[in-house]
Amino acid sequence: MTTDVIHEFSAPGLRGSLARMLVRQTRLTDLADSTGRGPVAKLTSSLSLIGAVALFSLIAVSCSAIVGSVLWYLLFGNPDMGVPQNIPALAIIVSFLVSTPVILYLQLTIRRLADSREALSRSRATLENLARHLVTARDEAVQANRAKSTFLANMSHELRTPLNAIIGFSELMSRQQFGPVGEPRYVVYLEDIHASGKHLLKIINDILDLSKIEAGKGSLEAQAALNVPEIVDAAARMVRQEAERKGIHLTTEMPADLPSLMSSERELTQILLNLLSNAIKFTEPSGRVAVRAEVARQGGLVIAVADTGIGMSKSEVRVALTPFAQVDNRLARKYEGTGLGLPLTKAMVEMHQGQLHIHSARGQGTTVTLQFPKSRLVFAPEAKKSLLAAA
């Protein structure tokens, strides 16, 4: 029995008992936590510091008395001799001195934990409130963007009708189809009206196309297996006059065995015209613009438009791909435009399940690469056989 008592109140035994007591207290804390009653706050409010000190002191006195009796038995070997009166008193003093700092530290730790838990609760509430605001703001932005796209689409339709009349009648009058106009200067003015109307109609068409794509209503019209070299040559002819006026050398490099591309002739021509117009616009006189196409190793089609123009930095490329944005947004900027060319081109390429990549550097020109997937290519029977044999 003496050995059991000694073991129970030895240093390892006391540490084990304290550990078990802390485990039970932690379980009770977690249980109270699960009920949502704030255990730490309840404990700090219900258990006073004086009561805790008295409780631990009472336990310490009892333990010290037993330990003193055991030590007396070990030293003198006769438990009937009694225990000196000063041993319990000394044990009480030592127990009080030892337990008081421990209890104070525990009380302070509990209060700090309570404060931390309250701060975490406030932070969680703030984050939840912020998340709700962000969701609301996102929904409002989506609705505003949808309303903007609908408005632009409706306005574009409303503007198209009078513009077509202006373009058609000005063309008839400039040709003097129903008789002479009279003053020769009127013919020049009519030609300017016709050209301006066509330019404005192109802008409206771009806005309408981009609005449809953003609203999820964009689609490729009348898809067919298109001869890529023919489409490229046709687009190059449309911009060649402007290139020659600026003294820019425009070239095309198309392999003879290039496969056909499943696409809409209007969309593919528009893609190439946007890229060629930009390349010519931002290339200085005596510069070069080249268009080349090839079948990639993965089997897709790659079309690249490269120029020796002014180029762009990485941040300017991001701006150029943003609808209605201008790299040079000054009122007196050198290069005009609506900022729709590249965003619309990128959207149209993605409608083909393709990708648009821009490699550019300031003063070193720009290369825009279009990648169309293999699923959109149509090979001639002979070319398909040779491709399968090579694979």
Which residues constitute the domain of residue 101? 38-218
Same domain, 101 and 166: yes
Same domain, 106 and 200: yes
In one-letter notation, the amino acid at residue 216 is G
Q: Is the pLDDT of residue 300 over 70?
A: yes
Domain boundary among 161, 195, 218: 218
Task: State both tokens at 147.
Answer: 């309303």
What pLDDT score does 34 carry? 47
Task: State both tokens at 53.
Answer: 């000190």
Q: Which among 272, 271, 202 has a CA at the least distance from the CA of 236?
A: 272
For residues 66 and 9, the answer to whether their CB atoms sit within 8 Å is yes
Better-predicted residue by pLDDT, 76 or 120: 120
Q: Is the pLDDT of residue 247 over 80?
A: yes
12 occurs within a structural domain: no
Same domain, 228 and 372: yes
Q: Is the pLDDT of residue 84 over 60?
A: no
Same domain, 73 and 140: yes
Same domain, 190 and 333: no
Produce one character per residue of 59-68: b if its CB has 16 or more CB atoms within 10 Å, e if not: ebbebbbebb
Same domain, 211 and 251: no
Rounded distance between C-alpha atoms, residue 89 and residue 353, angstroms: 90
Name the least confident of 68-72, 172-176, 343-347, 382-386: 382-386
Same domain, 380 and 300: yes
Q: Is the pLDDT of residue 8 over 70?
A: no
Number of structural domains found in the chain: 2
Q: Which among 196, 163, 190, 194 has a CA at the least distance from the CA of 174?
A: 190
pLDDT tens for residues 337-389?
Answer: 666 788 889 988 998 899 999 999 998 999 999 999 999 998 876 444 444 44
Q: Is the pLDDT of residue 6 over 90?
A: no
Same domain, 332 and 379: yes
Same domain, 91 and 167: yes
Task: Give the number of other Cβ atoms within 10 Å of residue 44's Cβ.
Answer: 17
Same domain, 155 and 49: yes
320 occurs within a structural domain: yes
What pLDDT score does 376 carry? 92
201 occurs within a structural domain: yes
Rounded distance between C-alpha atoms, residue 125 and residue 139, angstroms: 21
Q: Which among 355, 283, 348, 359 has a CA at the least distance from the CA of 320?
A: 359
Same domain, 231 and 106: no
Domain boundary among 170, 202, 218: 218
